[in-house]
């Protein structure tokens, strides 16, 4: 059904050391070059290991400074991955387009070349954007509409089987409303609560308080109305405090209506000052153990930091990335075009 191509990279992967400074912050980026792929999905397993999934069927892991890279070809077609998740036992990666396929991988195997297909969906409109787990048993993936609602699939058995929610149980989408597979952060989870964000003609937040069973949807003031406008990323510090960011992918320097905050679980949103940086953002994350005060955001335009709950921002690096995942308050992994970086924050 599929075959794996194994590449031994330890002899020729280039590991680069890049140091970046600004007046207030010192950061260190250890960059791993991974050629011929664009990586928008990363998942931290522990303090020494990060998994990744990217374009051209490539996926793998970095443990300390050792890189393992595999590639999946399904029925002679090269798959493109934009989402990855870990439930404490297995790694899951999902391809975006028809057919959308989810694979389960045992991270404890010495080799990582035996993924198992646990979900497959064929439709001319199928396009999956993001994947995450509530706990070891319950997980969720979301994608663009194939009918009159978002595509949402759920698992309750640790990812062994997945079922798509019927549109009768989801809010209807507007014509031209979808999502962006920019950083695998269209989904945010806090305990049993989950938020999903959209863009395009409408930029809204879909909320479930019970593991994805029932849903409400709320409007936001984020820029919307065009194909490449809207919310690209969401994160929540707790069940009430959250942030959404995005913008216009075709006008990345424009700061108007690109970021907003909520204090009521996503029901209402307040725009952050339109005149301050950043403009377009593909991924935003609260820095762990900082009481919701410190936030990091990335895009192709650079790395940005806020130390006041997202109200003001400063650029701390010009290096562009797609996504972030934190290990702890001092360490994060970032992914980008043909690269993954380990970030150390002072």
Q: Which phi and psi (to 5°) does residue 69 adopt?
A: -130, 130
Q: Which phi and psi (to 5°) does residue 168 adopt?
A: -65, -20
Distance CA 63, CA 340 (A): 12
Q: Is 36 helix (H, G, I), strand (E, B) or coil?
A: strand
Distance CA 162, CA 120 (A): 9
Write down the H helix ranges in 75-145. Answer: none
Look up the pTM and report it.
0.93
The pLDDT tens digits for 63-81 are: 999 999 999 988 888 899 9
The pLDDT tens digits for 197-207 are: 999 999 999 99
Burial of 268 (0-12, 13-18, 19+ CB in 10 A): middle
CB 233 within 8 Å of CB 195? no
How is the chain split into domains, by residue range? 2-345
CB 190 within 8 Å of CB 205? no
User: How high is the pLDDT of residue 17?
Assistant: 44
Q: Is 109 helix (H, G, I), strand (E, B) or coil?
A: coil
Distance CA 91, CA 111 (A): 13
Placement of tokens 């992994």 in the chain = 333
Residues of the chain with pLDDT under 50: 1-24
User: How high is the pLDDT of residue 76?
Assistant: 87
Q: Is 60 helix (H, G, I), strand (E, B) or coil?
A: strand
Q: Which phi and psi (to 5°) does residue 171 adopt?
A: -60, 145
User: How high is the pLDDT of residue 162?
Assistant: 98
- Domain 2-345: CATH architecture, name and number where available: 7 Propeller (2.130)
Q: Which residues contact 80 (CB under 8 A, 6 or more apart)?
A: 54, 55, 56, 57, 95, 96, 97
User: How high is the pLDDT of residue 103?
Assistant: 97
87 cis-preceded (ω within 30 degrees of 0): no
């Amino acid at each position: 059904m599929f075959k794996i191509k194994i590449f031994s990279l330890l002899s020729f992967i280039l590991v680069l050391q890049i140091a970046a400074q600004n007046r207030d912050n010192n950061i260190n980026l250890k960059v791993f070059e991974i050629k011929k792929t664009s990586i928008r999905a990363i998942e931290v397993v522990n303090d020494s290991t990060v998994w990744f999934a990217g374009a051209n069927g490539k996926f793998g892991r970095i443990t300390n400074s050792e890189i393992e890279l595999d590639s999946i070809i399904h029925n002679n077609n090269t798959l493109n991955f934009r989402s990855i998740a870990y439930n404490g036992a297995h790694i899951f990666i999902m391809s975006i387009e028809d057919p959308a396929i989810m694979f389960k991988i045992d991270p404890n195997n010495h080799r990582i070349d035996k993924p198992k297909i646990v979900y497959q969906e064929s439709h001319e409109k199928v396009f999956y954007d993001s994947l995450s787990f509530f706990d070891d048993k319950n997980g969720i993936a979301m994608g663009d509409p194939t009918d009159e609602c978002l595509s949402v699939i759920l698992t309750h058995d640790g990812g062994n089987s997945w079922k798509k929610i019927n549109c009768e149980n989801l809010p209807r989408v507007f014509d031209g409303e979808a999502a962006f597979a920019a950083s695998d952060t269209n989904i945010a989870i806090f305990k049993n609560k989950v938020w999903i964000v959209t863009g395009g003609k409408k930029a809204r937040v879909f909320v479930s308080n019970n593991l994805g069973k029932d849903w409400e949807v709320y409007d936001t003031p984020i820029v919307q109305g065009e194909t490449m406008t809207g919310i690209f990323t969401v994160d929540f510090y707790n069940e009430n405090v959250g942030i959404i960011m995005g913008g216009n992918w075709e006008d990345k320097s424009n700061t108007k209506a690109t970021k907003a905050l909520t204090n009521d679980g996503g029901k209402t949103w307040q725009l952050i000052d339109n005149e301050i940086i950043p403009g377009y953002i593909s991924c935003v994350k609260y820095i762990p153990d900082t009481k919701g005060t410190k936030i990091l955001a990335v895009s192709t335009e650079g790395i940005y930091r806020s130390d006041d709950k997202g109200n003001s921002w400063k650029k701390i690096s010009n290096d562009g990335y797609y996504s972030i995942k934190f290990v702890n308050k001092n360490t994060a992994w970032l992914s980008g075009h043909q690269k993954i970086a380990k970030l150390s924050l002072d």
